[in-house]
Amino acid sequence: MDSVLTVIPPFRPGQEPDVDPSRLVRWSPSVTLVPSRSCFNACEYCGFRRDPGSTTDLTLAGARRSLRRRPDSTEVLLLSGEVAPASPQRVGWFSRLLAFSRLALSLGRLPHTNAGPLSRREMAALARLNPSLGLMLEGLGPAYERLHKAAPSKRLALRLGQLEQAGRLGIPFTSGLLLGVGESRSDRLRALELLAALQKQWGHLQEVILQPWRPDGAQAVPLGSAEQQDLLELIEAARRILPAEVTLQLPPNLWPLESLPQALEAGINDLGGLDSHDVINAAYPQPSPRELSGRLELAGWALRPRLCVHDRFIPWLPPDLRRRATSLHARLLASVLA
Chain positions contacting ligand SF4, by CB under 6 A: 39, 41-43, 46, 48-49, 81-82, 116, 151, 153
Pick 48 or 107: Cβ nearer ligand SF4: 48
Least CB distance from residue 179 to ligand SF4, whole Å? 14
Show Cβ contacts of residue 253 under 8 Å, excluding neighbours closer than 6 positions: 278, 281, 284, 285, 286, 287
Distance CA 41, CA 55 (A): 15
CA neighbor of 239 nearest in space, from 249, 224, 230, 229: 249
Shorter beta-carbon distance to ligand SF4: residue 84 or 124: 84
What distance in Å separates the CA atoms of residue 202 and residue 67, rounded to the nearest whole number? 33
Q: Are 52 and 40 in contact (CB under 8 A)?
A: yes
- For the bound state, the minimum distance from the C-beta of residue 155 to ligand SF4, rounded and expressed in Å, comes to 12
Q: Could you tell me the smallest distance in angstroms from the CB atom of residue 327 to ligand SF4? A: 33
The residue (of 129 and 135) whose beta carbon lies closer to ligand SF4 is 135
Least distance in Å: CB of 43 to ligand SF4?
3
- Kindly tell me which of 81 and 131 has the beta carbon lying closer to ligand SF4: 81
| Residue 39 vs 314, nearer CB to ligand SF4 | 39
Q: Which of 250, 204, 294, 322 is nearest to 27 (CA)?
A: 250
Q: Which is nearer to ligand SF4, 279 or 334 (CB)?
A: 279
Cα distance between residue 229 and residue 262, in whole Å: 10
- Please say which residue, 74 or 253, places its beta carbon nearer to ligand SF4: 253
Q: How many other CB atoms are found less than 10 A from the CB of residue 81?
A: 23
Nearer to ligand SF4 among residue 43 and residue 76 (C-beta): 43
Question: How big is the CA angle at 317 (ends 313 and 320), to the nearest 5 degrees?
Answer: 140
In whole angstroms, the minimum distance from the beta carbon of 324 to ligand SF4 comes to 28
- The CB-of-154 to ligand SF4 minimum distance in angstroms stands at 7
Rounded Cα distance, 13 and 326, in Å: 9
Helix axes 185-202, 156-169, angle to 10 degrees: 20
CB 112 within 8 A of CB 174: yes
- Residue 118's closest CA among 110, 130, 126? 126
H helix and E strand count, the chain = 10, 9
Please, which residue, 26 or 154, has the CB nearer to ligand SF4? 154
- Asked if residues 239 and 248 have their Cβ atoms less than 8 Å apart, the reply is yes
Q: Considering the complex, what minimum distance in angstroms separates the CB of residue 242 from ligand SF4? A: 23
Which residues does residue 133 pair with via DSSP β-bridges, in sequence order? 113, 173
Half-sphere exposure (Cβ direction) of 50: Cα atoms closer than 13 Å: 12
